[in-house]
Amino acid sequence: MALNQRRIKILNLIREDGHAKVQDLSRIFNVTNVTIRQDLEVLEEMGYIQREHGGAFLKDVGTFAKTGQLFNQTHIEEKKEIARKAVSFIRENDTIILDSGSTTTEIAKLLTEGKSLTVITNALNIALILGENHNINLIVTGGEFKAPTLSLTGEMAANSIKGLHANKLFLATAGISSDMRLTYPSLSDLVVKSTMIQSADEVFLVADSSKIGNSSFASLGPISLVHTLITDNRIDEEAIKRIEKQQVKILY
């Protein structure tokens, strides 16, 4: 059974947040509750989700929190290369923000020894990676927990960052749309990422080239919100031209 665009977006949202309510989805996609229930029935029949009263949740969602594994584990080698490049910009005594995500997790793994840093993060798995390092002053936000991304989100997470100052932010994204906008599967992260950007002197977007040309449900804003994109060498020439036109430096 083929999935239409709305059902794909609903599935991506549930894969991001771990669950969703019928009423919320109805409001977001501007369709009736009946239509959303039909969408969820199809997604359940295909084995992606499990319905419950008033909504649905991702199958085996509890395993992410128990194992500490992220849902998205694709293009890992590219993400490791991006992380190595990103770490070269981190200086002794820097205060940095590590956004939640699989690429930023690879950055955290490279910070387990060495420099004295202050690290602000909304990712619980990153906090666990860095927590035993006595050289790192670790600040973890509050917020609503999302099991598939092992992250904390929403207004509470954003408020935890307000008033803090960072030298550098390493930002994640689900997609960079054809019109050069940063996009995400869920609305809940937008306020957090926006606050992170406002709190940092320099913003590095860490995204493998498969993200370029992909568009998710919610838009944070133009790619020009960031100063530098660190990606892999599979990025095509046309994408390079379009991104550089937005005054964004590209490293790959």
Domains of the chain by range and CATH? 5-59 (1.10.10.10), 76-251 (3.40.50.1360)
Angle of helix 102-109 versus helix 76-87 axis, rounded to 10: 50
Q: Where are the beta strands (DSSP E) in the chain?
A: 19-21, 49-52, 55-58, 95-98, 117-121, 136-140, 144-146, 151-153, 166-171, 175-176, 181-184, 200-206, 218-222, 228-230, 249-251
Where do we find the tokens 């969602």? Answer: 61
Reported confidence tier of residue 69, pLDDT bands at 50, 70, 90: low
pLDDT tens column, 212-227:
998 888 899 999 999 9
Average pLDDT for the chain: 91
- In SS3 terms, 185-219 reads as CCCCCHHHHHHHHHHEEEEEEECCHHHECCCCCEE
Q: Running DSSP on this structure, what letter comes out for residue 5?
A: H
Rounded alpha-carbon distances, angstroms, from residue 62 to 18, 44, 198: 9, 17, 33
- Rounded Cα distance between 225 and 198, Å, is 10
- Rounded Cα distance between 58 and 20, Å, is 9
pLDDT tens column, 154-172:
999 999 999 999 999 999 9
Q: Which residues on neighbouring strands pair with residue 170, listed in sequence order?
A: 98, 204
Give the pTM.
0.88
pLDDT tens column, 112-148:
777 899 999 999 999 999 998 999 999 999 999 998 8
Within 13 Å of residue 67, how many CA atoms lie on the same side as its CB? 10
Q: What pLDDT is stored for residue 64 in this prediction?
A: 62
Q: What pLDDT is stored for residue 75 in this prediction?
A: 84
